[in-house]
């Protein structure tokens, strides 16, 4: 069950409201990598999770993301406040928020696109979901980093830094939950991959370009790797 506590998870102070920045903040309210997406993704994964310990973690973090949604929504509202003040010049900055939303936040991203459940990654396979969550936290982290870079308001920077920090905390928890599942790093699902193909790296580009020659590295060389040059040409030649 859910319970609302009448305090924000982190106190938000804004000096001078900045409507354009408020619009940018909506990316973390109703955007693809935003707090509602995170809250719903982890909570729905948690509902589906049969491992009681990791289910508990998913529900804890999903619930914290709802608290983040409240913080980012409060922050965005403070920055969007001038849209409530009846000045046409201000309302022109974002007619959707001013005219349709009355100057308040709605579940749209920074470009006014409505939030969608299509943002969520829920696979029903725990190790796959945990990997999706680690990636989701990484995207949320970098979005906060960019937002912090685009504001000079100290109170705003502080609140965003708190939210950014918690995403790294979640990433650590998801990573630990994944590592302790007893599965190897490439062990996904139940079926093993086909040994004939799993270690072949297809070099699907040829020649030299402006960026140089074909690159080699631990992703195609050494260990079990077998480098296969231009497999498409080999297929063509075999058909002639
Ligand atoms: Mn969050
Ligand atoms: Mn998070």
CA angle 140-146-148, nearest 5°?
100
Would you tell me how many other CB atoms lie within 10 Å of the CB of residue 21? 19
Asked whether residue 162 is domain-assigned, the answer is yes
Q: Report how far ligand 1's centroid is from the alpha carbon of 151 (Å).
A: 19
Residue 68 backbone dihedrals phi, psi, to 5 degrees: -65, -40
For residue 112, what are the domain limits?
19-179
Asked whether residue 42 is domain-assigned, the answer is yes
Asked whether residue 188 is domain-assigned, the answer is no
- Of the ligands numbered here, which is closest to the C-alpha atom of 9? 1
The answer, yes or no, to whether residue 54 has pLDDT greater than 70, is: yes
The answer to whether residues 207 and 170 belong to one domain is: no
The answer to whether residues 227 and 125 belong to one domain is: no
Q: Report how far ligand 2's centroid is from the alpha carbon of 170 (Å).
A: 5
Give the model's confidence band at 18: pLDDT under 50 very low, under 70 low, under 90 confident, else very high: very high
Average pLDDT of every residue of the chain: 94
The answer to whether residues 45 and 131 belong to one domain is: yes
pLDDT tens figures, 179-213 = 999 999 999 999 999 999 999 999 998 777 777 78
Residues with CB under 5 A from ligand 2 (ion): 167, 170
Asked whether residue 10 is domain-assigned, the answer is no
Q: Report how far ligand 2's centroid is from the alpha carbon of 118 (Å).
A: 18
Buried b (16+ CB within 10 A) or exposed e, 113-152: eebeeebbbbeeebbbbbbbbbebbebbbebbeebbeebe
**In the chain, what's the furthest Cα-to-Cα distance?**
75
Asked whether residue 195 is domain-assigned, the answer is no
The answer to whether residues 166 and 230 belong to one domain is: no
Asked whether residue 51 is domain-assigned, the answer is yes
The answer to whether residues 117 and 232 belong to one domain is: no
pLDDT tens figures, 212-235 = 788 899 999 999 999 998 888 887
Instruction: Indicate the number of domains in the chain.
Output: 2
User: Mean pLDDT, to the nearest integer, of 45-63?
Assistant: 98
The answer to whether residues 86 and 163 belong to one domain is: yes
The residue count of the chain comes to 240
Region of residue 223 (left: phi > 0; alpha: psi -120 to 50; beta: else):
left
Asked whether residue 190 is domain-assigned, the answer is no
Q: What is the CATH number of the domain that holds 87?
A: 1.20.1260.10
- Of the ligands numbered here, which is closest to the C-alpha atom of 160? 1
Residue with tokens 């829920």: 122
The answer to whether residues 32 and 145 belong to one domain is: yes
Cβ–Cβ < 8 Å for 97, 104 = yes
Asked whether residue 226 is domain-assigned, the answer is yes
Domain end point (choices 130, 147, 179) = 179
**Short-list 109, 140, 113, 119, CA closest to 41:** 119
The answer to whether residues 214 and 120 belong to one domain is: no
Q: Report how far ligand 2's centroid is from the alpha carbon of 144 (Å).
A: 11
User: Mean pLDDT, to the nearest integer, of 30-50?
Assistant: 98
pLDDT tens figures, 66-75 = 999 999 999 9
For the chain, where are the alpha helices, taking DSSP H only? Answer: 19-25, 27-30, 35-48, 52-80, 88-91, 95, 126-149, 154-179, 231-239
The answer to whether residues 126 and 229 belong to one domain is: no
């Amino acid at each position: 069950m859910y319970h609302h506590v009448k305090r924000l998870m982190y106190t938000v102070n804004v000096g001078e409201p900045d409507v354009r920045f408020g619009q940018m903040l909506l990316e973390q309210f109703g955007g693809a990598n935003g707090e509602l997406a995170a809250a719903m993704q982890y909570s729905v994964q948690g509902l589906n999770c049969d491992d009681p310990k990791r289910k508990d973690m998913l529900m804890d973090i999903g619930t914290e993301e709802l608290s983040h949604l409240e913080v980012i929504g409060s922050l965005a509202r403070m920055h969007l406040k001038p849209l409530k003040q009846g000045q046409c010049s201000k309302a022109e900055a974002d007619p959707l928020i001013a005219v349709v939303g009355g100057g308040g936040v709605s579940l749209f991203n920074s470009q006014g696109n409505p939030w969608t459940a299509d943002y969520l990654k829920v696979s029903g396979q725990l190790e796959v979901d945990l990997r999706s969550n680690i990636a989701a936290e990484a995207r949320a982290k970098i979005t906060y980093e960019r937002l912090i870079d685009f504001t000079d308001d100290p109170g705003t920077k502080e609140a965003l830094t708190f939210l950014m920090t918690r995403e790294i905390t979640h990433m650590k928890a998801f990573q630990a939950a994944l590592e302790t599942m007893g599965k190897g790093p490439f062990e996904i699902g139940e079926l093993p991959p086909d040994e004939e193909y799993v270690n072949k790296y297809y070099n699907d580009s040829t020649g030299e370009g402006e960026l140089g020659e074909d690159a080699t590295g631990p992703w195609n060389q050494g260990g079990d790797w077998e480098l296969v040059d231009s497999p498409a040409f080999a297929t063509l030649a075999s058909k002639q």
